[in-house]
């Protein structure tokens, strides 16, 4: 036992933890007992080019004037239980240079919030001219193999000023 099985030799693994090469996918895979999965899960990414705004002063996933109901991304926690969550957007505040627009990640496991949106973890901006804002954050203590969802959450520091978000993106990178 041991080694990496050459491409095209196996369709079913011989034992849990066995590795195989694939030519069609160009990746190393590991047998988990019932399926071949990527040995090293890559980053996952979601984006929207459709601008939207909020006047909510509390975090919300919903933006107005957009076809996207919420920007979400599902990811599987790696064996380390740690990932880097990145997010960003072109951010502006209509008619105000002092009101702040905040975009922060919320991470859930099923219906349980494990990381709530927070200004300390936000990409923030202000001003009538859109500026690209982004941030990256390390998230630890995830349960390996569990599927989590990260949702882009948004808020404005004033209910009377529209905070705009355009070219939004989310990315999760596993850490090993």
- CA atoms of 40 and 113, how far apart (whole Å): 26
Per-residue pLDDT at 2 exceeds 80:
no
- CA atoms of 60 and 175, how far apart (whole Å): 28
**What is the pLDDT at residue 170?**
98
The structure's pTM equals 0.83
pLDDT tens digits for range 5-42: 888 887 888 898 888 888 776 788 888 888 888 887 77
How many other C-beta atoms can be found within 10 angstroms of the C-beta atom of residue 144? 11
User: pLDDT over 90 for what percent of the chain?
Assistant: 70
pLDDT tens digits for range 84-94: 999 999 999 99
Kindly write down the DSSP assignment for every residue of 145-166, as one continuous string: T-EEEEEEEEEES-TTSPEEEE
Q: Which residues contact 120 (CB under 8 A, 6 or more apart)?
A: none
**What is the pLDDT at residue 1?**
60
| Mean pLDDT across the chain | 93
pLDDT tens digits for range 107-155: 999 999 999 999 999 999 999 999 999 999 999 999 988 999 999 999 9
């Amino acid at each position: 036992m041991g080694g990496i099985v050459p491409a095209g030799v196996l369709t079913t693994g011989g034992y849990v933890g066995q590795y195989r090469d694939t030519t069609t996918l160009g990746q190393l895979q590991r047998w988990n007992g019932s399926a071949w999965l990527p040995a090293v899960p890559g980053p996952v990414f979601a984006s929207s080019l459709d601008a939207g705004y909020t006047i909510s002063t509390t975090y919300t996933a919903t933006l107005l004037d957009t076809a996207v109901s919420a920007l979400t991304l599902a990811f599987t926690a790696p064996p380390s239980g740690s990932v880097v969550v990145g997010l960003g957007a072109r951010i502006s505040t209509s008619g105000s240079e002092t009101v702040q627009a905040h975009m922060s990640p919320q991470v859930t496991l099923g219906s349980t919030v494990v990381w709530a949106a927070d200004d300390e973890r936000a990409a923030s901006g202000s001003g009538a001219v859109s500026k690209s804002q982004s941030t990256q954050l390390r998230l630890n203590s995830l349960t390996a193999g569990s599927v989590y969802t990260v949702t882009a959450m948004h808020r404005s520091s004033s209910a009377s000023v529209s905070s705009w978000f355009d070219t939004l993106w989310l990315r999760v990178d596993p850490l090993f």
